Homo-oligomer: A and B are copies of this chain.
């Protein structure tokens, strides 16, 4: 297999996939790169490059077929089978994630919840099976969990991630403000701390403003 796909490109392909799901319901069964570009705020050239980079789509001279492209992407991105997900940290945010209907609809089954507070484990009413945080590694392994969502306080974040990784997850979404670094290169971590985002937006405005003056 030839060229590695860049992170940025994978990111765009995922947005693209999302857009295609929406377009699927529409009347028109074809889309052009420029229409997709407008929808996602990406340059059309870029979209063509991305699509083409996953081995050409065989589409020809007048737009892409929405259904076909979607199916192709699904396969290429590995989104054609459900994935098993665990949530660690059952505070307000963690519980909101547990009950997030959209996850299952999109092929991500939450099959386990973890917390270090026994009280919580007994109180929370949910269909998801709950375990103590000490069991993370073994449950992840036994239940063949692919991905972990971390919603614990920052001081527990790295330790939580290490346990998930030891259990064998291939990716982690980290909502805690502490940046998680994955020792192994085959595990990808996506850090999406809210405070960090707000800081970024603030900084962004400041710097843009300064640049103009």
Contact status A195-B106, CB under 8 Å: yes
* B173, A201: Cβ atoms closer than 8 Å: yes
Q: Is the interface of A mostly helix, strand, loop or mixed?
A: helix
Nearest-CB distance from A54 to chain B (Å)?
A: 9
A205-B170, A211-B1 are contacts. A198–B17 as well, Cβ < 8 Å?
no
Q: A167 CB to closest chain B CB, in angstroms?
A: 15
Residues of B within 8 Å of A201, CB to CB, are: 147, 170-173, 188, 190
Q: Are A194 and B103 closer than 8 Å at their CB atoms? A: yes
Q: How many copies does the complex hold?
A: 2
Task: Write the A13-55 contact mask toward B (1 if CB under 8 angstroms, else 0).
Answer: 1110111001000000000000000011100000000000000
Asked whether, in the complex, the Cβ of B205 is within 8 Å of the Cβ of A171, the reply is: yes
Q: Give how many A residues have a beta carbon under 8 Å from the other chain's beta carbons.
A: 66
- In the complex, 27 of the A-B residue pairs with CB atoms within 8 angstroms, ordered by the A residue number, are A1-B210, A7-B204, A11-B200, A14-B196, A14-B199, A14-B200, A17-B199, A40-B179, A77-B206, A78-B202, A78-B205, A79-B199, A79-B203, A83-B198, A83-B202, A85-B198, A92-B96, A95-B96, A96-B96, A108-B195, A147-B201, A147-B202, A170-B201, A170-B205, A173-B198, A173-B201, A188-B201
